[in-house]
Copies of this chain bind each other. A is one copy, B any other.
Amino acid sequence: MGIAQAETAGDITVRTGPAPGARGAVIAIGGAEDKFKDKVILSRFVELAGGRDARITIVPTASSIETAGERYKAIFLGLGVDAADVAFISERSDANDRGIVHLIRESTGIFMTGGNQMRLSAVMGGTRSMESILEKNAEGAVVAGTSAGASILSSHMVAFGSSGGSPRQRMAQMVAGFGLIPNVIIDQHFRQRDRIGRLLSLVAGNPSLLGVGIDEDTAAIILADQFLEIAGRNSVTIVDGSNMYSDVYKVKGHGGISVSGAVLHVLTSGHSYDMIGRRLTTPLG
């Protein structure tokens, strides 16, 4: 049930919802997004979900804080959406509950809070709720997640790991994510927690994955599985390993991994990157 809308502002037609039949946007937020001032990222999510006609479902499963969902509900209602509801999923039986699945299926935007991403994968993986989120996104609904909620979006997820600028063996544990973004691996709180080393080690492991490290209060907005737009206050770091060489398959224990030829992009708000063509599509200065 994709929602398409056009608002006419003078001569400019502004689309505020997904086009019918098109895949919905996927928004990965690096955590700690602004909730008090401009709310640039959360507003963009609401806009892509249909603006005032948006029906938002909040999935607070990653969080151990009881009120995590309610907090976002208040923000989204404050941004003027038609409806915002919390899908209370704390066990696998909740994630297969018909009422919860119905709520997801009626929404134009789904938002996953931060917390522990392995709680999302272990509790929701393979359930009807997870399937419904995938189906809704294929039909045009926007899916967004912040912090843990961002990690779960890709097929291959960083479950947990250690910080540092240099790649080392066993730095990060991977677990299967929801798979909304197939050939990408997302890391969040990126610069704030110094995670470039582990992202390099993960891309070295299989360079078919594009590494995407998202800073706090920053979002990677992925459109049509191809274009990655940056929004928010800081940067998104992209690691393209197409021509990368490494000794990752030889390194034992927690030894240092050597990598060579990784192509790095560090992009700020307003820039757009073509994930298939693997190039910046916006001019640089």
Residues of A within 8 A of B (CB): 91-92, 116, 118-119, 121-123, 125-126, 130, 155-156, 159, 170, 173-177, 185, 202, 204-209, 241-246, 248-249
Query: Is B205 in contact with A248, judged by CB distance below 8 angstroms?
Result: no
How near does chain B come to A19, taking the closest CB pair, in angstroms? 27
The answer for the CA separation of A122 and B246 in the assembled complex, in Å, is 7
CB nearest to A246 among chain B residues:
B122
Query: Is B245 in contact with A205, judged by CB distance below 8 angstroms?
Result: no
- Give which listed residue, B119, B130, B173, B242, contacts A170 with CB less than 8 A: B173
How near does chain B come to A253, taking the closest CB pair, in angstroms? 11
Q: Which 7 A-B pairs have the closest CB atoms?
A: A126-B208, A125-B206, A118-B249, A176-B206, A121-B206, A175-B205, A125-B208
CB nearest to A130 among chain B residues:
B208
Q: Which residues in B have their C-beta under 8 angstroms from that of A173? A: 170, 173-174
Query: Is B118 in contact with A248, judged by CB distance below 8 angstroms?
Result: yes
Query: Is A91 in contact with B208, judged by CB distance below 8 angstroms?
Result: no
Query: Is A249 in contact with B116, judged by CB distance below 8 angstroms?
Result: yes
The answer for the CA separation of A176 and B184 in the assembled complex, in Å, is 10
Query: Is A245 in contact with B92, judged by CB distance below 8 angstroms?
Result: yes
- Give which listed residue, B92, B126, B205, B245, contacts A176 with CB less than 8 A: B205
How near does chain B come to A43, taking the closest CB pair, in angstroms? 31
Q: Which residues in B have their C-beta under 8 angstroms from that of A170? A: 173
Q: Which of A123, A126, A185, A243 has the most CB of B within 10 A?
A: A126
Q: Which residues in B have their C-beta under 8 angstroms from that of A159? A: 205
Q: Which residues in B have their C-beta under 8 angstroms from that of A242? A: 126
Q: With contacts A119-B249, A122-B246, A175-B205 known, what are 11 further pairs, Cβ within 8 A?
A: A92-B207, A92-B244, A122-B249, A126-B206, A126-B208, A126-B209, A126-B242, A156-B174, A175-B206, A176-B209, A177-B206
The answer for the CA separation of A177 and B174 in the assembled complex, in Å, is 12
Q: List 20 A-B contacts (CB under 8 A).
A: A92-B245, A116-B249, A119-B249, A121-B206, A121-B208, A123-B249, A125-B207, A125-B208, A125-B241, A126-B241, A155-B156, A156-B176, A159-B205, A170-B173, A173-B174, A175-B202, A175-B205, A176-B185, A176-B206, A176-B209
Q: Which residues in B have their C-beta under 8 angstroms from that of A155? A: 155-156, 176
Query: Is A248 in contact with B209, judged by CB distance below 8 angstroms?
Result: no
The answer for the CA separation of A176 and B211 in the assembled complex, in Å, is 12
Q: Which residues in B have their C-beta under 8 angstroms from that of A126? A: 206-209, 241-242
CB nearest to A204 among chain B residues:
B122
Q: Which residues in B have their C-beta under 8 angstroms from that of A205? A: 118, 121-122, 125, 159, 175-176
The answer for the CA separation of A246 and B119 in the assembled complex, in Å, is 10
